[in-house]
Amino acid sequence: MDLQKLIAAMFLFALMVMPLAPLQAQSVRPPANAVNQGINEQIGDEQIGTSNTLGTNSRSDYWRDLRQGRDGLATSGQTGSKLIQAQGEQWRNIRKLYIIKYSGWVLATVIVMIALFYLIRGRILLKAGRSGKTITRFSLPHRTAHWFMASIFILLSISGLILLLGRTVLVPVIGKSTYSIFASAAMQGHNLFGPLFIVALVWLIFMFIRGNFFKMVDLKWILKGGGLLGPHASAGHYNFGEKGWFWLVVVAGLIMAISGMILEFPWLAENLQLLQISIIVHAIGAIALISAALGHIYIGTLGMEGALDSMTTGDVDVVWAKEHHDLWYEEVTGQKVANPEAEGDQSAPDRAQVSVQSQITET
């Protein structure tokens, strides 16, 4: 019986002590001498340890250093020493607040200006009317190079604009799910046709660089506003507007080609900053080329009578040649153009003779 009483007493004591055990376990108060049991460590010029757990900086200082991209202890990779890459935030702000925001407005402004010009000026017609006689302006290789570049440029422009402005313009209209399909197709197409742009650019330069160097006659053409601000503005095979468009395609095209290759093959970039710069440069170059291309397309189709013939059949009406490229006409035919805007064209040679002379000159 004594043993049973002893066991019962121990059991009752355990029941009384057990509720106090969790309270004792929750105590995390360190012992009195805990401040002297830390580990001291030297990191750079700072002593980190028991008496200086944050080094010489406060928490706000640490966050400020991280936000500004201050270097720390490298872990791996070229950017491993930075917890936050501050230039990335700057790049996002430039792309979102400037490139994306204003690109659409630039294109819209160009379209509105072209429309207003057409409404005010109207189509540039041949003053003397068509003569029915033609002269060869561009050979088949020239036209093929032109249309090859035009096709690639249009595909890249559409796909690029979907990627650049799609979230702002398309998502509110077609929704995110449908846009994701368009964006995926645009990205694949852009990456596929991008390298072909380089081929088209090299071919275009080779075929059209002859005759596209600036001369004194181009200054006179500018002063006369291309014939829009005054009397007839003489021009050779290419006028100042065409030369300016050619060199814009060459310079901006080369920039687009280089930046595009870096973006398509990112391992070519030495660092992340080069990729970020390439994206910005690529976008600016694209908007500049597309804006100028809209004007080029307008003047070559709806804006000027007879201009499209040079890139379809390769032949242009003799009256068109005299009114817009009189110096080239004189060089090809050997006949002086007394008044390019005079009615009639009785002195113009027949088509066969002019075409032969033009081909010999081009050769």
First-to-last alpha carbon distance for the chain, in angstroms, is 130
Q: Alpha carbon 130 to chain centroid distance?
A: 41
Mean pLDDT of 37-66: 55
pLDDT beyond 50 at 319: yes
3-state SS assignment for residue 359: helix
Token reading at 205: 């330069």
3-state SS assignment for residue 41: strand
pLDDT bucket at 148, cuts 50 / 70 / 90? very high
**CATH 3.40.50.150 is right for the domain spanning 209-336+348-363:** no
pLDDT bucket at 311, cuts 50 / 70 / 90? very high
Mean pLDDT of 253-278: 91
Q: Which of 18-27, 68-77, 85-94, 340-349 has the highest mean pLDDT?
A: 85-94
Mean pLDDT of 314-329: 95
pLDDT beyond 50 at 252: yes
Q: Which of 249, 235, 346, 279 is nearest to 90 (CA)?
A: 279
Mean pLDDT of 74-81: 51
337, 245 Cβ separation under 8 angstroms: no
- Cut 0.75: pTM above it: no
pLDDT bucket at 362, cuts 50 / 70 / 90? very low
Residue 102: partners with Cβ closer than 8 Å, 6 or more residues away: none
- In sign, the C-alpha dihedral spanning 208, 213, 215, 217 is positive
pLDDT bucket at 9, cuts 50 / 70 / 90? low
**Can you tell me the distance from the alpha carbon of 295 to that of 276, in angstroms, rounded to the nearest whole number?**
30
- Where helices occur in 41-139 by DSSP H, the ranges are 59-67, 86-94, 101-121
**DSSP type of residue 349:** P
Work out the percent of the chain whose per-residue pLDDT is above 90.
58
Q: Given the structure tokens 């908007």, which residue do they identify?
A: 287
pLDDT bucket at 87, cuts 50 / 70 / 90? confident
pLDDT bucket at 89, cuts 50 / 70 / 90? confident
Token reading at 315: 């032949």
pLDDT bucket at 81, cuts 50 / 70 / 90? low
Residue 245: partners with Cβ closer than 8 Å, 6 or more residues away: 292, 296
Choice between 283 and 26, residue whose per-residue pLDDT is larger: 283
pLDDT value at position 16?
60
pLDDT beyond 70 at 11: no
Token reading at 347: 């002195």
**DSSP type of residue 104:** H
Mean pLDDT of 137-149: 97
Give the tens place of pLDDT for each residue, 193-210. Answer: 999 999 999 999 999 999
Average pLDDT, the chain: 81
Choice between 71 and 112, residue whose per-residue pLDDT is larger: 112
